[in-house]
Amino acid sequence: MTMPALAIEALEAGYEPGLPIVRGASLAVQASEIVAIIGPNGAGKSSLVKAVAGLVPISRGRNLLFGHDITKTLAHRMVFEGLAFVPQTENVFVNLSVAENLELAASIVKANRRESLDPVYAMFPDLHRQRAYLAGRLSGGQRQMLAVARGLIARPKLLILDEPSAGLSPKMVDQVFSKLREVRATGVTVLLVEQNVKAALALADRAVVLVEGRERVVGKSSDLLNDHRVAELYLGGRA
Ligand SMILES: Nc1ncnc2c1ncn2[C@@H]1O[C@H](COP(=O)(O)OP(=O)(O)OP(=O)(O)O)[C@@H](O)[C@H]1O
Ligand SMILES: [Mg+2]
């Protein structure tokens, strides 16, 4: 057994004491996998990834990053543990330029500017070209690319994204998802929440269907595409 990149163990988390939204969820993400979390609206998908990232209080269970317990790690310390989280909204500073967004991310982790920025610009040539633009003036797709690029500045081992395709055209979704494949190819493990089930199952190696704060189905994406429970929930199919 190799050590998972992320092990979520019987996690309970929520916004008010005694009212868990994440209700005993468990999930193991293997190193260099892409895993998608899908599930109905309000299932607790965002709450689950936010709890892993230190943004929602955890009442039970634990999270291990490559075996290291990060259950109590504060959100702003997660990058130093090797975890970067890209929230669904407000994930860039719209009033700063592209370059300033990336430089700020580098300064937060006290990274050498050149060493951290150059590889990211190499992976995102469009952002390099647009580095003087205000982030708020980028297209939706490019803004999402910038959010991903910001996450990568700290050279995380695990990148977690909440609905990176939200609000994007199908063409832009393809571009962002193919960038996530490139990210994985550099050895980064990727966990993402997605509403766009077909695209998510095409991207991810494995997926988990979260219902009422717990995993209901976990499996290979190719198997889930043919799973009648997934079909009933999302793909318009019948049992
Ligand atoms: N900041 C908050 N304070 C209190 N309750 C919240 C908060 N954020 C979410 N919730 C509640 O937690 C439950 C799960 O919400 P969550 O956003 O985690 O679901 P989701 O699966 O990401 O849904 P969606 O598909 O709509 O993004 C919902 O009932 C929601 O009302
Ligand atoms: Mg959500």
| Residue 73, domain member (yes or no) | yes
Let me know if residue 87 belongs to a domain: no
Quickly state the pLDDT bin for 110 (edges 50, 70, 90): confident
- Name the pTM for this structure: 0.95
User: Does the residue 114 lie in any domain?
Assistant: yes
- Residue 127's pLDDT band (boundaries 50, 70, 90)? very high
Residues 121 and 234 grouped into a single domain: no
Read off the pLDDT of residues 53-79 as tens digits, 9 standing for 90 and up: 999 999 999 999 999 999 999 999 999
In-domain check, residue 58: yes
Encode pLDDT of 143-195 as tens digits.
999 999 999 999 999 999 999 999 999 999 999 999 999 999 999 999 999 98
150 and 39 together in one domain: no
Residue with CA at minimum distance from ligand 1 atom 9:
47
Whether the CB of 167 sits within 6 Å of ligand 1: no
Atom of ligand 1 nearest to the CA of 48: 18
pLDDT tens column, 189-209: 999 999 889 899 999 999 999
Contact 216, 26 (CB under 8 A): no
Tell whether ligand 1 has an atom less than 6 A from the beta carbon of residue 136.
Answer: no
Is the alpha carbon torsion for 129, 139, 40, 228 positive or negative?
Answer: negative
pLDDT score for 237: 45
Here the CATH number for the domain that contains residue 58 is 3.40.50.300
**Nearest ligand, CA 88:** 2
Q: Is the CB of 42 under 6 A from ligand 1?
A: yes
CA of 40 to the centre of ligand 2 (A): 9
Residue 220 and residue 176 in one domain: yes
The answer to whether residues 233 and 209 touch, using CB atoms and an 8 Å cutoff, is yes
The residue ranges of DSSP E strands in the chain, in sequence order, are: 6-13, 22-29, 34-38, 58-65, 68-69, 83-86, 158-162, 189-193, 206-211, 214-220
156 lines ligand 1 (CB under 6 A): no
Q: Which domain holds residue 70?
A: 1-82+157-239
CA of 66 to the centre of ligand 2 (A): 25
Q: Per the structure, how many domains does the chain have?
A: 2
Examine the domain organization and report whether 78 and 166 are in the same domain. yes
Q: Judge if 77 and 104 occupy the same domain.
A: no
Domain boundary among 113, 135, 155: 155
- The pLDDT assigned to 238 comes to 42
Nearest to 84 by CA among 52, 38, 45: 52
pLDDT of residue 225: 86
Query: Does one domain contain both 170 and 126?
Result: no
Identify whether residues 100 and 55 lie together within a single domain. no
- Indicate the average pLDDT of the chain: 94
Cα separation, 108 vs 16, whole angstroms: 30
Amino acid making up residue 122: A
- pLDDT tens, 95-109? 999 999 999 999 988
**Do 24 and 5 have their domain in common?**
yes
Q: Which ligand is nearest to the CA of 48?
A: 1
